[in-house]
A and B are shown apart, each in its own frame.
Chain A
């Protein structure tokens, strides 16, 4: 589904990604771990098409099509979804309106009928319950005054509504209490399917108890320096990144 070959990217003239290679097939769940500042969020943002980052070389294809040629919104309509590490607020724009606009943009792209306000309200209410968000949150401004955990649940709610092909979850588990972690994990597991891939960035192997990945990768210094199965995360937790021989200057850029 997603194929990343020798991807280099920089921000403000500074190279952050230094040759990423990654293959993700439909139905798979990949976890990316790695020290702070190693480029995990950068990779997520580059895949989603944030033009604050410049791709200097390499290629990325989604089901064989060149992803890097597409605008952010086109990538989204092709099924790329990014759950943000730090979701931004849009004051005054109700979550409901925002979500309906997004869902209808996708539907339109697929040549489907748009959903009217009443239909959408019904759907949104169901999905909000799935992530244990009070439907009252639908009426509030997008992320406006949401707590950290509420923002994260809101992100997962969006993934559930938009049903992407590739969901990239950037530290969706950070800042969640134990119950919320369970709720969010259930949400992510509900997303798992034969024709959908999930790429999740996390610092905590405990998340991987809830969402069992097929592969675990370690990103350090802008490169994937080790890949393995579920057990790699356990090993990392036990031994730390030092075990992989990461020197300080490799860790961050």
Chain B
């Protein structure tokens, strides 16, 4: 991490940096959920009939399901009828065609978030699809992407423009009835990103989406679908922030990745939703289903995540390794502080021959938080010669927090090999004393030690994100010393 002390000082602010609310007029549905709400939603989005049917089916499934209770988290029941299922920034005529058409107030919001769409995106060569509450506002870099044949657009647009692709792949990895939150998302998803990389194409730039929940009492249900055709490659980044609010907000996203023969998808997340205050008030409930399917032989999907935000995180980015020799990877840093709760991990489902997976999970708990790793490694009967390596490290700061590890292994193939390593350590008094004896502030010392602990994961992140992630840890660890 190349942060200078000035930058550090800048970062050491007590309050959640991104916790401002943007004053913009918006069209918001009355709270509540029923079939009419879904019909209205689908109508506003001018969706084809198949989409509405799909949503309604999911909704009916959802009604029959119960909220999961097995995760190592604890929270009051969510009242799904107190949530509004659609909120879009009001626009003068149609959807903005270019950045000039975007509400300036909205653009300022992105500036504050550190994502000026014009400059930084261009400098960094990153195409940004920004989802604000429920609607994609602007997607930059459409042209060079189009030239390469890459489709990168809001999923609502894809539903209209590429219905065949959507029909074929939407729900193919995470079926509507997969779990409670996935069903809810399938019924009411408002927007998200759609990526299609054609055969043999290496996506010319990193694709990125920033999510932000703004309106009060709205849920955010984005849906992301990434399809990498034979021999293609894409790296996709996702960043999240939400304003500070006293009430809890729900975020239930679904991400589906599909990798065909020899294709590679690298999916990185820096999740910094508002975690609630130091007394555990407010914060985002982050209930997310992320899954990738390595359908093709020699395909590869890697998930890298840095999770520092949200009051509650419930998230298990997974890989279904169907294709022969396909590879799944999961690199995770999850940090909890104050009263945050995280139950996160991965599932590696080995179905094909010689499939390989690697899991590196780093959990950091501070304050009174609780941090659980939950991982499933499963080998089907056809997973000849499959292998998994799991390394699960926990770091405790202080003595009121908790770390838990729940590794599950199921094997139906005798030739499969699993290696599992787990450690729990503390930021020791001796380490702190050494740092302080060399003149380093205690807070900076903790953040440095924690960054060191996360190194193996950070090196998997794209450069820009690695720096951001390091800074985030620093801010998130505020007040964890002493």
Q: Which of A's residues lie within 8 Å of B, judged by CB?
A: 48-50, 52, 71-73, 76-77, 80-82, 84, 87-88, 90-94, 97-98, 101-102, 104-106, 108-109, 114, 116-117, 141-142, 158, 162
Contacts and interface: CB of A to CB of B under 8 A. Distances in A.
B146 interface: no
Contact of A105 (B429, B431, B440, B455): B440
A92 B433 contact: no
Given A88-B430, A105-B5, A105-B441, A73 B436 contact: yes
B453 A91 contact: yes
A161 to B, nearest CB: 9
B440 A101 contact: yes
Given A76-B439, A82-B437, 5 more contacts: A88-B428, A90-B431, A92-B455, A104-B4, A105-B440
B1 A97 contact: yes
B442 A73 contact: yes
Contacts of A84: 434
Given A92-B454, A101-B444, A114 B434 contact: no
Contacts of B440: 73, 101-102, 105
5 contacts: A73-B436, A77-B439, A90-B452, A98-B448, A101-B448
A166 to B, nearest CB: 12
A88 to B, nearest CB: 4
A101 B451 CA distance: 13
Q: Is the interface of B mostly helix, strand, loop or mixed?
A: helix
Nearest to B4: A114
Contacts of B431: 88, 90
B4 A93 contact: no
B12 to A, nearest CB: 13
Contacts of B429: 52
B346 to A, nearest CB: 22
B279 interface: no
B449 interface: yes
Contacts of B430: 88
Contacts of B436: 49, 71-73, 76
Nearest to A48: B437
Contact of B452 (A72, A92, A102, A117): A92
B437 A76 contact: yes
Interface in B191-238: none
A77 B436 CA distance: 10
Task: Count chain A CB atoms within 10 A of each CB in B435, B441, B455 and give the residue with the most.
Answer: B435
Contacts of B455: 92
B452 A141 contact: yes
B124 interface: no
Nearest to B458: A92
A165 B439 CA distance: 13
Nearest to A52: B429
B438 interface: yes
B434 A93 contact: no
Given A102-B440, A105-B440, A162-B439, A87 B433 contact: no
Nearest to A81: B437
Contacts, number: 86
B149 to A, nearest CB: 40
A90 B449 contact: yes
B319 to A, nearest CB: 26
B6 A105 contact: no
A45 to B, nearest CB: 8
Nearest to B455: A92
Contacts of B463: none
B441 A73 contact: yes
Task: Count chain B CB atoms within 10 A of each CB in A77, A90, A162 and give the residue with the most.
Answer: A90
A116 B6 CA distance: 11
B123 interface: no
B439 A73 contact: yes
A98 B448 CA distance: 8
A93 B448 contact: yes
B2 interface: yes
Contacts of B2: 117
A154 B437 CA distance: 15
Contacts of A82: 437
Given A88-B428, A105-B441, A116 B4 contact: yes
Contacts of B451: 92-93
A52 B438 CA distance: 17
Nearest to A168: B437
Interface in B406-464: 428-431, 433-442, 444, 448-449, 451-456
Interface in B1-37: 1-2, 4-6
Task: Count chain A CB atoms within 10 A of each CB in B433, B437, B441, B448 and give the residue with the most.
Answer: B437
A102 B1 CA distance: 14
Nearest to A101: B440
A87 B449 CA distance: 15
Contacts of A48: 433, 437
A236 to B, nearest CB: 29
B32 to A, nearest CB: 49
Interface in B122-145: none
Nearest to A45: B433
Contacts of B433: 48, 50, 52, 72, 88
Contacts of B435: 90, 98, 102
A81 B5 CA distance: 21
Nearest to B454: A92
B254 to A, nearest CB: 34
A117 B439 CA distance: 18
A94 to B, nearest CB: 8
A142 B435 CA distance: 11
Contacts of A87: 434
Task: Count chain B CB atoms within 10 A of each CB in A72, A101, A158 and give the residue with the most.
Answer: A101
A102 B4 contact: no
A105 B452 contact: no
Interface in B299-318: none
A93 B452 contact: yes
Contacts of B437: 48-49, 72-73, 76, 80-82
A114 B5 CA distance: 8
Contacts of A105: 5, 438-441, 444
A91 B428 CA distance: 12
A181 B2 CA distance: 35
A141 B453 CA distance: 10
Task: Count chain A CB atoms within 10 A of each CB in B4, B453, B454, B456 and give the residue with the most.
Answer: B4
A76 B430 CA distance: 16
Nearest to A109: B439
A139 to B, nearest CB: 12
Nearest to B6: A114
Nearest to A104: B5
